[in-house]
Amino acid sequence: MASQDLDGVWTVLATSPPKSGISVSPAGSTVSAGKVLIGVDQENRRHLLIPLLPGEAARTDSRGRGVHIARLSHGDATYLTVYCLLPELHQVFTQFCRELIVTIADAASPAKEAAAALNRWRTLFSDAERMGLLSDESLTGLLGELLVAERLLVAGAPSDLRFWVGPFNDLHDMRSSTHAIEVKATMVREGRIVSISSVDQLQEPDGGNLILVHTRLDRDPAGFSLRDLVDRVLDAGAHTDQVNRRLNELGVGAADLAAGSARKFKVADTRAYDVAGAAFPRLLRSSFVAGDIPPGTLQLSYAIDLTNEPPHALNDDAVSAAFTALAAEAAHAMDS
């Protein structure tokens, strides 16, 4: 069950919390003792319930303010419940439960594995209490930018990362004087719906070009974490201080970099488009009768659908040429 599904079920259960006990729903996973459940108690605390075999030992843990483990009877069964006491930890607790569901599926002792997992995550929960974690949406966007930055560095872009301007609220994520790349990344598996934040976001630089890179990421325990990808960018030649400067601008904290196996991904699909190409859907200021957005319009955002063709994605040679051109122009500007 995907993390957004867990959130959705918890949210639904919380609309009618029980007066006592716990309201539950299947988590979509089983262990040897039966079905794993998710639930909400009378205090609207979120639970993950792991069924126990008769007489099975299970360690409880009430250390810390955020997440505890306890034994709980529900119906005719006994469970080990992992539950979240603080609403501000819901996001990271969802990530923890998602990983735990996968981990315990084949574990010889799911109860022992749950206790061990909580120990591994304890520092992360503590950090999250203090500063919070990046949302999945923000993390996905950052990973998309890091993947593009890595490729530009390999293509010869300067190590001072002057081309990576997205973290500083520039119009585009990557750019030189006449070349630009807008990066969009998602974990949504169906379709390619892309949010455009302003009427200028898909406007190419004067006399230049703009490509949009759309990357779909899937969660994968054997994949790369944020820390892994940051290390790859550093290995490609980026200056550490410039990487850290951008991470700081984006609010990336120690908890995000320490998440490790809790937040690992693989690239499922990447496509790049020339936004000035035939049939590419975009709004520009010139799209309006007066050559600009109507007076009094403070902000214009919209979404485009790249699910079907046209528009056609660029072939590999065209994408490589676009990356090489931006990298070369950025490097030349540094040498000038």
Average pLDDT, the chain: 87
Q: How far apart are CA 217 and CA 132, in angstroms?
A: 22
Lowest mean pLDDT among 55-64, 220-229, 237-246, 316-325: 55-64
Residue 108 CA to residue 95 CA, distance in Å, equals 22
Q: How far is CA 178 from each of CA 16, 119, 181, 213, 284, rounded to the nearest angstrom?
A: 56, 51, 11, 17, 18
Q: How confident is the model at residue 12 (pLDDT cuts 50, 70, 90)?
A: confident
Mean pLDDT of the region 155-172: 94
Under 8 Å CB-to-CB from 255, ≥6 apart: which residues?
A: 92, 124, 127, 128, 131, 132, 133
pLDDT tens across 26-51, in order?
988 899 899 999 999 988 899 999 99
Q: What is the pLDDT of residue 335?
A: 65
Percent of the chain with pLDDT over 90: 45
Q: 53 with 85: CB under 8 angstroms?
A: no
Residue 2 has pLDDT above 70, yes or no: no
Where b means 16+ CB within 10 Å and e means fewer, 86-113 reads beebebbbbbbbbbbbebbeebebbbbb
- The pLDDT value given to residue 178: 95
Across the range 149-158, mean pLDDT stands at 97
How wide is the angle at C-alpha 223 spanned by C-alphas 218 and 229, nearest 5°? 100
CB atoms near residue 248 (< 10 Å): 11
pLDDT at residue 260, rounded to an integer: 60
What is the per-residue pLDDT for 132? 55
Evaluate if residue 4 carries a pLDDT over 60: no
- On whether the pTM is more than 0.95, the answer is no
pLDDT at 58: 83
Is the per-residue pLDDT at 19 higher than 80?
Answer: yes
CA distances from 49 to 1, 244, 253 (A): 15, 39, 30
Quick one: tokens of 177? 């004087």
Distance CA 139, CA 313 (A): 25
Encode pLDDT of 287-335 as tens digits. Answer: 898 888 888 877 788 899 999 989 999 999 999 999 999 999 999 887 6
pLDDT for 108-119, tens place per residue?
888 888 888 888
